[in-house]
Amino acid sequence: MANLDQVFHSLSDGTRRAVIAQLANGPASIGDLAQRHHMALPSFMKHIRVLEESEIVTSRKRGRVRMCELRPSALTAAQDWLEQERRKWETRLDQLDVFIETLAAKEMTNEKK
């Protein structure tokens, strides 16, 4: 089960989002990813660690290269949470619409009397 605190924290940084966007196109080595972001390896590794701790990214050694891969289930958990709140919000707005329509209809009836 993904920890939403960690997942959303991971997503709160532009470099980490760019890494996710890149890995969505396929696995990549840490060296390639760091180069793309013009960042020194130690600083970049901190971002990778945050992504790994939130279980958004997994990495493994392949020969002398460490490859990173996306694990979409953590992102799905974040998406599901947002979707659930959006539905609640929209249901509420729909109910509000119905309420306002009912009020308007009542007013029309009262005016006709």
Interface residues toward a second copy, by CB under 8 A: 4-9, 11-14, 17, 20-21, 24-26, 70, 72, 75-76, 78-79, 81-83, 85-86, 88-89, 92
Closest to a second copy by CB, 48 or 50: 50
CB of 106 to a second copy, least distance (A): 22
- Alpha carbon distances (Å) from 63 to 23, 29, 66, 67: 20, 11, 8, 10
Beta bridge partners of 58: 69
Q: For the CA atoms of 5, 11, 46, 73, what is the dihedral angle to 10 degrees?
A: 70
CB of 11 to a second copy, least distance (A): 4
CB of 43 to a second copy, least distance (A): 17
Closest to a second copy by CB, 82 or 100: 82
Contact 27, 69 (CB under 8 A): yes
